[in-house]
């Protein structure tokens, strides 16, 4: 391709990164998800696509790509190159035999174990990441041998049947060995990353360990993507910023994911839900802000908080709405947070939100927030019971009244209230919310109850993030089990199709 040197030297303005797709022609769902990811990246104006190893289960090198089931993805990559996108495939531990054939057939780059790119003026070192896992001595020894040039040439020249037999033995031995190793032994050693960063890179981007991480080290930044195969994790560089997306259910489950978070005032819902949404890359819904917006509109119009009919009609008239970041507007005009959180609104919002007409008028506004991105963390008092009864994950946060009162007082130290007054107000709010006829505050039957009384905020967010990521992996596993291709369904003729040169 005539413009290949120029494309390689041009710093990308909008680049997408992922790792550990583990594509296999016998898993059409996985290939379809990978194709959708590439399509989305192109639709977003991507000019650089960097696949950081273990893209394929390709122990046989090029022969592994002759499976017709992989053809759609290979064609996507060739199409991206034709569209002017720089496409780079790095070697992982499953596909380290891939090389020149792919470059010639598809126009992609296969530079080997690593490549450096400039992202917004900063040097990023891209690699699969296994070279940082020096604590796994047996793994490092095996792959030094397998990547030895003369041996790679020998493997490539073996008869196909011998290649298959050898690949199966290596993969089986690797799987068995991994099962007996600790996560610490197989994890990234930060000192190895620091060594790379101190040699001239500003940021190291990799995968391999199947666990997402974004950390500032002494000499620069480390961005680790979880495996795309089961989490949809990836990274995006746009607007001069590199952003890690820890999990993206759209590429795994084929739809957005909803996390419902309920609980009484002071249980930590707001802080936890915001941080959890930021970590996961999901949208955030503070349902209480919508009720506060309606209460704000009622105050502006002089409506009493007990006028259920008038308030129900007001909801339709003032058109409350949410944007992708959870900001609330009335008639398209953003409502200042100072007004939403004012004492006058706080004193009335519980009574306003108790009316069935108000809640019914806001339910579709809330559900619409789940269609704005990869997922939604929705917090309130009836998210798991009424608004999102089919939510993928439902949590109920609670804490003792004393702890909740102390938190509320710490959040609003300038209000001049003492602990006893705040405690009485919360108790009254609890009684009102749990005793109302419409959508009372309670834990959904399938909710996981988390008592936050003795837990730090970071601990709670860590716990919920772990539950969501593990849950998405479990849902994917169930999907695959239901749609598994029967053994032998991929005929030998299909496996001989020369998909890589399509």
Grade residue 167 by pLDDT with cuts at 50, 70 and 90: low
**At CA 17, angle to CA 13 and CA 18, rounded to 5?**
170
CB burial class (10 A; 0-12, 13-18, 19+) of residue 364?
exposed
- The predicted-structure confidence for 101-137, as pLDDT tens digits, reads as follows 888 888 999 998 899 999 999 999 999 998 898 876 6
What is the CB neighbour count within 10 angstroms for residue 327? Answer: 14
Report the alpha-carbon distance of residue 225 to residue 243 in Å, rounded.
11
CATH C-level class of 257-475: alpha beta
The residues with which 15 forms a beta bridge, in sequence order, are: 48, 237
Burial 196-233 (b: 16+ CB within 10 A, else e): bbeeebbbbbbbbbbbbeeeeeebbbbbbbbbbbbbbb
> What CATH number was assigned to the domain covering residues 4-246?
3.60.21.10
Greater pLDDT, 483 or 66: 66
Q: Max Cα separation, the chain? A: 85
- The predicted-structure confidence for 319-373, as pLDDT tens digits, reads as follows 998 876 778 899 989 999 889 989 899 889 989 988 999 999 999 999 988 887 7
Grade residue 502 by pLDDT with cuts at 50, 70 and 90: very low
Mean pLDDT of the chain: 84
| Highest mean pLDDT pick, 35-49, 239-253, 329-343, 479-493 | 35-49
Place of tokens 């009836």: 382
What is the pairing mode between strands 122-127 and 114-119?
antiparallel
What SS3 state is found at 341? coil
What is the Cα Rg of the chain in Å? 27
Structure tokens at 462: 């860590």
Q: Indicate whether 50 pLDDT > 90.
A: yes
Q: In the 3-class helix/strand/coil scheme, how is 46-114 assigned residue by residue?
A: CCEEEECCCCECCCCHHHHHCCHHHHHHHHHHHHHHHCCCEEEEECCCCCCCCCHHHHHHHCCEEEECE
Going from the C-alpha of 198 to that of each of 23, 126, 170, 221, the distances in angstroms are 34, 15, 35, 11
Report the alpha-carbon distance of residue 417 to residue 138 in Å, rounded.
62
On whether the CB atoms of residues 280 and 468 are closer than 8 A, the answer is: yes
- The predicted-structure confidence for 59-106, as pLDDT tens digits, reads as follows 555 666 778 889 999 999 999 999 999 999 998 887 777 777 888 888
What is the CB neighbour count within 10 angstroms for residue 1? Answer: 11
Report the alpha-carbon distance of residue 252 to residue 231 in Å, rounded.
6
Domain ranges in the chain? 4-246, 257-475
Place of tokens 């041009």: 10
* DSSP class of 383: I
Report the alpha-carbon distance of residue 150 to residue 9 in Å, rounded.
31
- The predicted-structure confidence for 230-240, as pLDDT tens digits, reads as follows 999 999 999 99
Greater pLDDT, 164 or 25: 25
pLDDT of residue 493: 33
């Amino acid at each position: 391709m005539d413009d290949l040197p120029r494309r390689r030297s041009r710093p990308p303005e909008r680049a997408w990164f992922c790792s550990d797709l583990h594509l296999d022609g016998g898993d059409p769902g996985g290939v379809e998800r990978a194709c959708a990811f590439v399509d989305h990246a192109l639709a977003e104006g991507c000019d650089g696509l960097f696949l950081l190893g273990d893209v394929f289960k390709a122990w046989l090198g090029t022969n592994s790509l002759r499976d017709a089931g992989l053809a759609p993805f290979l064609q996507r990559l060739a199409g991206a190159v034709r569209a002017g996108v720089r496409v780079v495939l790095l070697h992982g531990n499953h596909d380290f035999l891939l090389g020149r054939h792919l470059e010639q057939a598809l126009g992609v780059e296969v530079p080997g174990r690593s490549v450096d790119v400039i992202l917004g003026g900063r040097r990023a070192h891209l690699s699969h990441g296994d070279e940082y896992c020096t604590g796994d001595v047996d793994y490092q020894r095996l792959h030094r041998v397998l990547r030895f040039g003369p041996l790679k040439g020998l493997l490539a020249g073996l008869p196909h049947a011998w290649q298959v037999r050898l690949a199966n033995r290596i993969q089986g031995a690797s799987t068995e060995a991994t099962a007996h190793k600790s996560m610490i032994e197989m994890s990234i050693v930060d000192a190895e990353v620091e060594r790379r960063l101190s040699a001239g890179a500003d940021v190291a981007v990799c995968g391999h360990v199947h666990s997402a991480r974004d950390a500032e080290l002494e000499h620069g930044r480390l961005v680790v993507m979880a495996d795309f195969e089961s989490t949809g994790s990836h990274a995006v560089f746009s607007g001069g910023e590199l952003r890690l997306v820890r999990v993206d259910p759209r590429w795994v489950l084929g739809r957005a994911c909803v996390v419902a978070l309920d609980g009484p005032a002071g249980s930590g819902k707001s802080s936890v839900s915001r941080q959890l949404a930021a970590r996961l890359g999901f949208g955030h819904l503070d349902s209480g802000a919508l009720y506060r917006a309606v209460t704000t509109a009622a105050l502006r119009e002089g409506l009493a908080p007990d006028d259920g009919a008038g308030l129900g009609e007001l909801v339709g008239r003032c058109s409350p709405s949410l944007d992708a970041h959870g900001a609330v507007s009335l008639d398209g005009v953003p409502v200042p947070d100072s007004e939403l959180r004012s004492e006058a609104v706080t004193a009335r919002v519980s009574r306003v939100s108790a009316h069935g007409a108000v809640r019914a008028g806001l339910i579709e506004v809330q559900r619409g927030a789940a269609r704005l991105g990869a997922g939604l963390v929705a917090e309130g008092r009836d998210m798991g019971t009424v608004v999102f009864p089919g939510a993928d994950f439902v949590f109920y946060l609670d804490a003792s009244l004393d702890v909740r009162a102390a938190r509320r007082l710490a959040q609003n130290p300038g209000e001049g209230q003492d602990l006893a007054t705040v405690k009485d107000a919360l108790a009254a709010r609890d009684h009102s919310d749990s005793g109302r006829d419409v959508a009372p505050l309670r834990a959904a039957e399938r909710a996981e109850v988390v008592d936050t009384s003795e837990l730090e905020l970071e601990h709670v967010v860590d716990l919920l993030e772990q539950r969501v990521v593990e849950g998405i992996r479990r849902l994917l596993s169930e999907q695959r089990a239901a749609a598994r291709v029967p053994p032998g369904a991929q005929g030998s003729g299909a496996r001989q199709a020369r998909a890589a040169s399509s």
